[in-house]
Amino acid sequence: MADKLLDLQFNMGDSVLIKESSPESYMPGCRGSICGLRSIDSPGLAQGFDQLIDSEHYLVEFEDGKALEIPKSFLIFNSKL
């Protein structure tokens, strides 16, 4: 099986803002930096994140060193960090 090509919206090191409309667990309104990426490839993971299979999730690191995996749909590019 060939690897699925991802249509990357963000690159490593990009600054992002978590959308205000995102679930509280994703820290809405906070800013961070992209430090990882994965595509959700199993039904269990998709259900756990309440997302579709093949959705893109980015690992976002915050100033305090905490990092969260957040679906692409909850992120906005932020050039002001």
Q: What is the CATH number of the domain that holds 20?
A: 2.40.10
Buried b (16+ CB within 10 A) or exposed e, 9-41: bbeeebbbbbeeebeeebbeebbbbbeebeebe
Are 74 and 57 spatial neighbours (Cβ–Cβ below 8 Å)? no
Q: What are the structure tokens assigned to 3, written together? A: 């690897």
pLDDT tens by residue, 53-66:
878 889 999 999 99
Most confident of 10-14, 24-28, 43-47: 24-28
Indicate whether 3 belongs to any domain: no
Indicate whether 44 belongs to any domain: yes
Instruction: Give Cα separations from 1 to 4, 80 (angstroms).
Output: 9, 40
Indicate whether 10 belongs to any domain: no
At 6, is the pLDDT very low, low, confident or very high (cuts 50, 70, 90)? Answer: low
pLDDT tens by residue, 36-53:
998 888 888 878 877 878
User: What would the mean pLDDT of 2-28 be, rounded to a whole number?
Assistant: 83
CB atoms within 10 A of CB 63: 10
Domain containing residue 28: 15-77
Q: How many domains would you assign to the chain?
A: 1
